[in-house]
Amino acid sequence: MSKIVDLRSDTVTRPVPAMRTAIAEAEVGDDVFGDDPTVILLEKRIAELFATETALFVPSGTMGNQVALASLTQPGDEIILDRQCHIFNYEVAAAPALSGLQFNPLDGDGGVITTDDIVPHIRQRDIHAPVTRIIAIENTHNRAGGRVFPLDEMKRIRALADERDLVVHLDGARLANAVVASGIPFKEYAACADTVSMCFSKGLGAPVGSVVAGVNATIDKARRKRKQFGGGMRQAGILAAAALYALDHHIDRLADDHANAKRLGAAIDAIDGLDLVYPVETNIVIFRVDDGYDTVGNLLARLEANGVLAVPFGSDRVRMVAHLDVDAGDIARAADVLAGLGPAN
């Protein structure tokens, strides 16, 4: 049987041989003691790229988000965020469980919450009410099909936060995709937030690792939170080396993933009974499966039987993600398989 086309996520990428060489050759030390030269280099490199005071290497995107939220808030504070965002849906309720935050989820439009949406939800100071403290935004937005959160709207949110004494966290797990798709530099996005997280283990193709960046005072707290949450790492330079390799070699090529995702999206949309839910802007394709066509579970099983893997994204939706380990040929094959399957009987 030919190669499996694994479109479940861009997290499935495996380190390329040159990345493995960088891993093998990395200089390391004990990072909890602050001794790992490769981690230090990576954190400096990110601080330069994002134009933040400093940055912190963390094991995962979830931990990057959670140490940022924990560092910016007090238990009992409220966080305003889009109802479809990762922090609300896919982090096992970590923000309330670990930091005592109360969610105030808003119905954004395709993952985008605007200042008009947010303003009515900022609470007045009142002895009964939680303190609205933080706004979280996600760029690119996973459940909105990899949509790029518009910079202008991010700037308006930043201005509102300044005016109302709030802070902003940017879940930039796929910020590199936003940068490549929009041509807007990392630092312009980062300037809109107090803390920014980004993952190396998604489209950038590293095996493990994320980063969170911001001012020294916040990231010092985040470093303590990382330790408290069990994320202090020792000879983490082997992972930081992979991240540095990814920064050097795997950012520009995200454009190929975006082109592949667009081709796949167009092919899917051409099938009667399958509809793209969002226009494809980056590497994520989300489509709806009509009732009369198939169930999501059965369609995924039929795809798998034909060597194509995808994931359910809601009861009537499927997500496919283009990445480093699938080329244009694999994408064409996935599109052909899907077109060939037709409706279930």
Considering only residues 71, 132, 182, 210, which one is a binding residue for ligand TLP as defined by CB under 6 A? 210
**Cα–Cα distance measured from residue 247 to residue 315, given in angstroms and rounded to the nearest whole number:** 36
List 31, 78, 82, 138, residue binding ligand TLP (CB under 6 A): 138
Give min distance, CB of 133 to ligand TLP, in A: 20
Nearer to ligand TLP, 169 or 341 (CB): 169
Per-residue mark of binding to ligand TLP, 82-101 (x: CB under 6 A):
----x---x-----------
Q: State the minimum distance, in angstroms, from the CB of residue 299 to ligand TLP.
A: 19
CB of 141 to ligand TLP, least distance (A): 7
Site string for ligand TLP, 14-53 (x = CB under 6 A): ----------------------------------------
- Which residue in the set 6, 7, 9, 330 belongs to the binding site for ligand TLP (CB under 6 A)? 9
Cis peptide before 140 (omega within 30 of 0): yes
Q: What is the dihedral of CA 89, 90, 92, 96, to 10 degrees?
A: -50
- Report CA-CA distances (Å) from 84 to 89, 150, 182, 183: 7, 17, 22, 25
Q: Are strands 167-171 and 131-138 parallel, antiparallel or unpaired?
A: parallel
Q: In what order do the strands lie in the sheet with 102-106?
A: 54-58, 210-214, 195-199, 167-171, 131-138, 77-82, 102-106
Q: At closest approach, how far in Å is the CB of 60 from ligand TLP?
A: 4
CB 70 within 8 A of CB 269: no
- Which of 218, 120, 134 has the alpha carbon at shortest distance from 170? 134
Query: Looking at 13, 62, 84, 283, which residue binds ligand TLP (CB under 6 A)?
Result: 62
Of residues 13, 54, 60, 177, which one binds ligand TLP by CB under 6 A? 60
Nearer to ligand TLP, 27 or 316 (CB): 316
- Cβ 163 to ligand TLP shortest distance, Å: 27
* Binding status of residue 66 toward ligand TLP by CB under 6 A: no
- Considering only CA atoms, which of 155, 156, 84 is closest in space to residue 119? 156
On whether the CB atoms of residues 39 and 196 are closer than 8 A, the answer is no
Which residue in 142, 177, 195, 282 binds ligand TLP (CB under 6 A)? 142
Interaction of residue 73 with ligand TLP, rule CB under 6 A: no
Query: 323 in helix, strand or coil?
Result: coil
Taking Cα atoms as reference points, which of 57, 39, 46, 101 lies closest to residue 222?
A: 57
Residues at the site binding ligand TLP, with contacts judged by CB under 6 A? 9, 11, 60-62, 65, 86, 90, 138, 142, 171, 173, 199, 201, 210
